[in-house]
Chain A
């Protein structure tokens, strides 16, 4: 008679990444623990937004901004609040300015850099506070790393959390599994803050993997997907940040990291979670490892993520969800 498989304890984790400043997506990420439910939350990086939207305070007391191309005017505090929420739902930072400040922003890149830094750090503090408050009194922790787009200043904010566990380039325990986290990417045409050469990525990941006691039961949380895994397909961009056109259409290329692929193939962890390439959503297998990129559509206010149920030595099931 075939042996009946013994029931094993199940760890339920929810993973998402690339929320890019969308407050509603972050809140959904934190609330996913109670919603699905999940024992642990894992955030794969790229927390901060890409755009700043000036809301200009006019002389008549009204506020004017352009939100996704639509000119919006707020006359009351409620309308202003609604306008700000619409901007942050789209993953942008609202910034109230008077006309003189709006001109200064338009003219000075230093002023824009400063305003951006202030806005994104203020927002991130709110996020960490929300997670600490919402997860207080539970055993659930949010394991969070920055991604290649996130400035270095976010690290200190993440480390200030109690339920938020800042774990970039660390090995942490997640139930019976060791969680390896790594937020850097390989080189991109955008020259973002956290990029490394492939050799350096391999070397740093190898140092982390060397710390594992049970590598085949480990979970990888690595921002950049493995090379040529179908989780890393994006349009090719040249040095001038223009699409490379072949046959009359933008040319698709694998953009993942060769070092990440190599380390997955060598280590064969149970599960490998990735983000970075929003449009390359999918699930694949590399050897015995289940590799997932749930994609991202933060601008719509929907949180793309994946819910994974794990036994100590196998992935029981996984669902790509959009909540």
Chain B
């Protein structure tokens, strides 16, 4: 609206056009909120805690540095591809709309089923991890730092009890859904606030470690640990015990361990493009702003991770940091060695421990909100296309929130949470299966981007960039690269059992999802046909010529 502010035809603006006085389309989500939405899809705090903890322990010599660099390359390729795709077809509904519009509605629905299944699994994972990774261990860590046995016990009870896991996890899902039900404005406002708090927490970690010397940390750690281990040099014994357990604390680079390290880093670093699902509400959706916000979010995410990881190794000590993340039975503390715990020890302050706990825990609702939003938008889009009952496309007249779609998301997520809680195989498997299911959708999106200039040439020609390289449209090149990268990650997950994928289980799930998507499509099509409506045509583009 702002660019239409003149009383008659206005002079050319930066877009190179003249605008006359007319009412205009306004999109709600600002570039900053778009950036935050994309950052929220992969909270850096969770990434640092889980990825480093996991990769250092399981894949020695895998080189997290090369992993970070390669993950950034992969993330930027994805952001360019999906950002250009979103600017060509700026519609809310994400992969369902984009894949369906470019290929065929049924392929769009298959893509969407895989993505939504992954999203529902992710919601369950985040809700569970909120209890087992954030609340429980952080309370224990605060208890250890403040020498409060009741907090230590409370943390252990919460993290170890299935009842608490399900109860608190389900409450987090329901509260997030209620927030979403309050309207999109409130949701983005809260998300921005959570993101700022999480970043303040990471900033605190940075400052504490920046002004703490390595020797200073060793002293603080030994002092802190003495009451637990009774040893004067627990720092040294952690390294020694790790070596006794067979851990190589200065491993040489291993290409064989690099690939799973890269895949594990990618599992929480390739999602800075989730604003694709709200493109219909993003301001300046037709130009390259969204692509830039996606790329910026990826770069900031990896840059923060690299800076903090450098500090972790420098201040905690390279051998110690690998040792403490790899220790098995001889690990001396009740709280896992997350950076928040070690930084709290470095700071030696109960207040700091509480602050880091809060800023770390807040990353979980921050991650749940975009996931719930995506699931809700997808159900809403299915209902609009007649694939779900029309009530799922109804919105509240007061908040404009699609309450039925939100309710469906909550029910499914809580059911999967129950499965995740009672699944003895461990919650990381939930995450990795979610990653792989979503990889299938991301590959389909890449292939659709390759096809866009050829199957929808008018849309592509009118998009923000029609640049070519060697006569091939940039978006097609980026799409092909995305498909290859994701197929590579898929292969790595299949090849390395330590990444936790049970092939038989996974392919069975894929078959169920594929079958369910086809069944939904054909049942809905038959039902609508009886009402005189062709579902294929509802979802298809009207021929312009």
Q: Report if B246 contacts A (CB, 8 A).
A: no
Known: A67-B16, A235-B1, A237-B1. A86 touches B461 (CB 8 A): yes
Q: Quote the shortest CB–CB distance from A281 to chain B (angstroms).
A: 9
> Which B residues are in CB contact (< 8 Å) with A53?
16-18
Q: Report if A160 contacts B (CB, 8 A).
A: no
Q: Report if B351 contacts A (CB, 8 A).
A: no
> B19, A50: Cβ atoms under 8 Å?
yes
Q: Quote the shortest CB–CB distance from B12 to chain A (angstroms).
A: 6
A50 contact from B20, B465, B538, Cβ within 8 A: B20
> Which A residues are in CB contact (< 8 Å) with B386?
319
> A31, B543: Cβ atoms under 8 Å?
yes
> A191, B25: Cβ atoms under 8 Å?
no
Give the docked Cα–Cα distance between A242 and B15 (Å). 19
What is the 8 Å Cβ interface bit string for chain B, positions 99-142, against chain A (1 contact, 0 not)?
00000000000000000000000000000000000000000000
Give the docked Cα–Cα distance between A243 and B288 (Å). 23
What is the 8 Å Cβ interface bit string for chain B, positions 526-543, against chain A (1 contact, 0 not)?
000001111001101111
> A89, B537: Cβ atoms under 8 Å?
no
Within 8 A of A (CB), among B8-46: 8-9, 11-12, 14-28
Taking CB as reference atom, which chain B residue is nearest A298?
A: B25
Known: A190-B23, A279-B28, A282-B395. A89 touches B542 (CB 8 A): no
Known: A66-B15, A68-B287, A300-B286. A319 touches B533 (CB 8 A): yes
Give the docked Cα–Cα distance between A52 and B280 (Å). 24
B26 contact from A10, A46, A149, A279, Cβ within 8 A: A279
Q: Report if A112 contacts B (CB, 8 A).
A: yes
Q: Report if A136 contacts B (CB, 8 A).
A: no
How big is chain A's contact interface, by range? 35 or more
Q: Quote the shortest CB–CB distance from A21 to chain B (angstroms).
A: 10
Known: A24-B458, A32-B542. A70 touches B22 (CB 8 A): no
Q: Quote the shortest CB–CB distance from B328 to chain A (angstroms).
A: 49
Q: Quote the shortest CB–CB distance from B22 to chain A (angstroms).
A: 4
User: Interface stretch among A161-169, A171-179, A265-273, A302-310?
Assistant: A302-310
> Which A residues are in CB contact (< 8 Å) with B281?
279
What is the 8 Å Cβ interface bit string for chain A, positions 185-209, against chain B (1 contact, 0 not)?
1001011100000000000000000
Q: Quote the shortest CB–CB distance from B83 to chain A (angstroms).
A: 14
Q: Quote the shortest CB–CB distance from B282 to chain A (angstroms).
A: 12
Known: A27-B544, A301-B462. A188 touches B533 (CB 8 A): no
Give the docked Cα–Cα distance between A114 and B474 (Å). 39
Q: Report if B464 contacts A (CB, 8 A).
A: yes
How big is chain B's contact interface, by range? 35 or more
Q: Report if B185 contacts A (CB, 8 A).
A: yes
Q: Quote the shortest CB–CB distance from A59 to chain B (angstroms).
A: 19
Known: A89-B461, A235-B1. A36 touches B534 (CB 8 A): yes
Q: Report if A116 contacts B (CB, 8 A).
A: yes
Q: Quote the shortest CB–CB distance from B265 to chain A (angstroms).
A: 34
B9 contact from A109, A279, A300, Cβ within 8 A: A109
B25 contact from A89, A248, A299, Cβ within 8 A: A299
Q: Report if A132 contacts B (CB, 8 A).
A: no
Within 8 A of A (CB), among B48-97: 88-91, 97
> Which A residues are in CB contact (< 8 Å) with B27?
279
> B21, A192: Cβ atoms under 8 Å?
yes
> B538, A307: Cβ atoms under 8 Å?
yes
Give the docked Cα–Cα distance between A89 and B461 (Å). 9
Within 8 A of A (CB), among B166-218: 185, 189
> B16, A66: Cβ atoms under 8 Å?
yes
> A51, B18: Cβ atoms under 8 Å?
yes
Give the docked Cα–Cα distance between A71 and B287 (Å). 12
Give the docked Cα–Cα distance between A82 and B473 (Å). 15
Q: Quote the shortest CB–CB distance from A265 to chain B (angstroms).
A: 15
> A116, B9: Cβ atoms under 8 Å?
yes
Q: Report if A249 contacts B (CB, 8 A).
A: yes
> Which A residues are in CB contact (< 8 Å) with B21?
190-192
> A70, B9: Cβ atoms under 8 Å?
no
Known: A235-B26, A241-B5. A51 touches B287 (CB 8 A): no
Taking CB as reference atom, which chain A residue is nearest B89?
A: A300
> A69, B23: Cβ atoms under 8 Å?
no
Known: A284-B397, A297-B280. A65 touches B16 (CB 8 A): yes
> B90, A300: Cβ atoms under 8 Å?
yes
Known: A27-B544, A51-B18, A301-B459. A243 touches B1 (CB 8 A): yes
Taking CB as reference atom, which chain A residue is nearest B460?
A: A86
Give the docked Cα–Cα distance between A31 and B393 (Å). 26
Q: Report if A57 contacts B (CB, 8 A).
A: no
> Which A residues are in CB contact (< 8 Å) with B532?
10, 12, 309
Give the docked Cα–Cα distance between A88 and B466 (Å). 16
Q: Report if B252 contacts A (CB, 8 A).
A: no
> Which B residues are in CB contact (< 8 Å) with A109?
8-9
What is the 8 Å Cβ interface bit string for chain A, positions 4-32, against chain B (1 contact, 0 not)?
00000010100000001000100110011
Apart from A24-B458, A234-B26, A300-B89, what are 18 other A-B pairs with CB-CB below 8 Å?
A12-B532, A46-B22, A51-B17, A51-B18, A67-B16, A69-B15, A72-B466, A86-B461, A230-B397, A247-B189, A250-B26, A276-B23, A279-B26, A282-B395, A309-B532, A317-B531, A317-B533, A319-B538
Can you list 21 A-B pairs with a CB-CB distance of less than 8 A?
Answer: A24-B458, A50-B20, A51-B19, A66-B16, A66-B17, A68-B287, A68-B463, A85-B462, A86-B462, A113-B20, A148-B23, A230-B400, A235-B28, A240-B5, A241-B1, A247-B189, A248-B189, A249-B189, A297-B90, A302-B89, A322-B91
